[in-house]
Structure 1
């Protein structure tokens, strides 16, 4: 984990390793799909993808990591984490979301099972990160 300390109201750009980045380096990494994608799982007709965002702040406006699900061609954000969430935290949350998806939707997801999945996802506790 980084030793990055932010003053109230301060924003920093942070790499997947938790170290501060210059804005230009952060922007270049954001354009690098291989660097940005932390985990990707295809399941039935869905895709679960967790990405690094790399924006740290003390106001919880910036996002370090985000996970989305592609249902029927449409992306929905199902989890996000603010700094100081780590890549390890994001990977663990990705695995938990995939496990919950498989449990809730053992067959092709329907509107009903998608709603049930989202209801159950909201009930999941994510210590150390915010969802």
Structure 2
């Protein structure tokens, strides 16, 4: 089985379930901008416009996870894990009103994992 590029903690998955109940289908986007722009942003599906500068890393807990292509170049050697923590971020991510914020943890792939990665998908917008 190929190595996934993005994972999610049980705690973050529980928040995704709660958000999905309220907002319907969701999406994550990792932009790499300043401030909280370097945190993963969660949106109701379609509330964030994807472009050709984005790639899809995969799905986490049934939610597609996209990243800006230039940011992917920095992080392509690492597996990302979506986590959640108490606190208010300075973003437009929909978990903010819950007093929570999504975060990314990362680790470098082993050589064996790097040889067997799930391919990224280019966004055709």
Place the TM-score, normalised by the shorter chain, in its bin. under 0.3
TM-score, normalised to structure 1, is: 0.25
| Larger radius of gyration between Structure 1 and Structure 2 | 1
Q: TM-score, normalised by structure 2?
A: 0.25
Which structure has more helix as a fraction of its residues?
Answer: 1
